[in-house]
Structure 1
């Protein structure tokens, strides 16, 4: 009997495709809701296996310690704040209505008090481009404009760790550990390189699919590879 194809194994949910969430350090939510203001001091800059950007361990005024996303220019000993009374300076987090147009921001909430959902990857930033009654327009890293509620909180600055993707892995072991932390199977082989019992495109005297690559939406799981429910096929004509 042949092996399951990758899509079937991933859907089954085995340990190979399960993210190692037991190694992650924190959810990186904002330290307070948008109605309070708290201050803290950065105690240490750490690495979190859950993300490529560095994180900061912050000691709050009451003695509680939380983790926060690091922006470029932050360091140990710096003081940062969360809340509507926080100043507009690097590393501080405040509601969008209090951030001036043209400021770079990151770690933006999708809705008020959800802790931050958007623009959290290393080296990225968004920009406040406009305001209206109850809403704030933000230009996302993709270049598209998105509207947020004015009470959604965001952090001032650019996420640290820029240029990470430009550094070569140099060794296969480095790539192995990166892919393992992201719950991705690596290395991967294309279907045409496999045996005929292991993949619908496998087998044959030379590497070729041997069958149409476009399949319907209702195809059985063992055959659902290639262009699934493609709207069109063939070369674009001018």
Structure 2
């Protein structure tokens, strides 16, 4: 065997041993240190990343089970929303957003009785259990709704506006101007889509042909079709927005993770700089350059 062939064989064996040892070392590296492209979901596309409700095939008034996500994407398990975490796990009460009733103006409206009004941990306003015959369903409770009340629903639009009571559901075209409404349909037959939060309310401003213009809580106006259904009245739990949390533990029970708490200097870049008021400055007459003017008296017959 020549010297050249022996050198090539030895060198090739060393290279193969080095490559094999390198591959074995890299295979032992934990997976978390490997670079992996993960496509994060877009925020605000219909997902809140707070909980998953396990709905059933048919509507039921039985409380539904939920799975808290704590701000994580259920597909990848990655944290998407950092401000969510902890919280008390509540049962979910399925709200029936569509209010059914007769369409013929000669028929009387459908009447339902309020059986119970209670607090739901998965939403801000109160929930009411209503029933008629053998049908039970959950709706959002209005401000003064209480057990024993009778609420009415009708889908027809009469020539003259109706005189609704709180909790009744009518098309926007059947309500008089200035009526306060909630749970408004965005499209006819869609179900309550607008005004769900506690204490919120919209106002019917005017009519424009077959359109009805409503004003939202933040002064924004919408022009909706007159056949869109709406519930009369203001939503319950008005004190929700003005009630302080009170403690950090209560905020954790609500499902909010703590902030960093890092003190940041108010430089004025994002607003007015907060400065302490100046000390009281005492001004003496002898300190300033101000002198009393010299009074000149002129001799006149009026001075005698």
In structure 2, the residue matched to 1:51 is: 123
Query: 2:227 aligned with 1:123, yes or no?
Result: no
SS at match of 2:238: coil
Query: 2:255 aligned with 1:140, yes or no?
Result: no
Contact 1:31–1:66 (Cα < 8 Å) also in 2: no
Query: 2:163 aligned with 1:95, yes or no?
Result: no
| Alignment CA distance shift 1:129-1:78 (3 Å) | same
The count of corresponding residues between Structure 1 and Structure 2 is 183
SS at match of 1:117: strand
Query: 2:138 aligned with 1:67, yes or no?
Result: yes
Deviations 1:66-87 (A, max 9, x none): 1111111110000001223685
Structure 1 residue 34, shift from structure 2 partner: 7.3
Contact 2:163–2:175 (Cα < 8 Å) also in 1: no
Query: 2:94 aligned with 1:26, yes or no?
Result: yes
SS at match of 2:184: coil
Q: Which runs of 5+ in 2 are unaligned?
A: 1-31, 34-38, 54-65, 67-90, 157-161, 272-304
Structure 1 residue 149, shift from structure 2 partner: 0.7
**TM-score normalised over the length of structure 2:** 0.53
| Alignment CA distance shift 1:52-1:33 (3 Å) | same
Q: Distance in 2 between matches of 1:133 and 1:33?
A: 24
Structure 1 residue 17, shift from structure 2 partner: 4.0
Q: Distance in 2 between matches of 1:165 and 1:19?
A: 22
| Alignment CA distance shift 1:28-1:51 (3 Å) | farther
Q: Which has the larger radius of gyration?
A: 2
Contact 1:40–1:80 (Cα < 8 Å) also in 2: yes
In structure 2, the residue matched to 1:109 is: 185
Mapping 1:146-157, distance limit 5 Å: 146-157=222-233
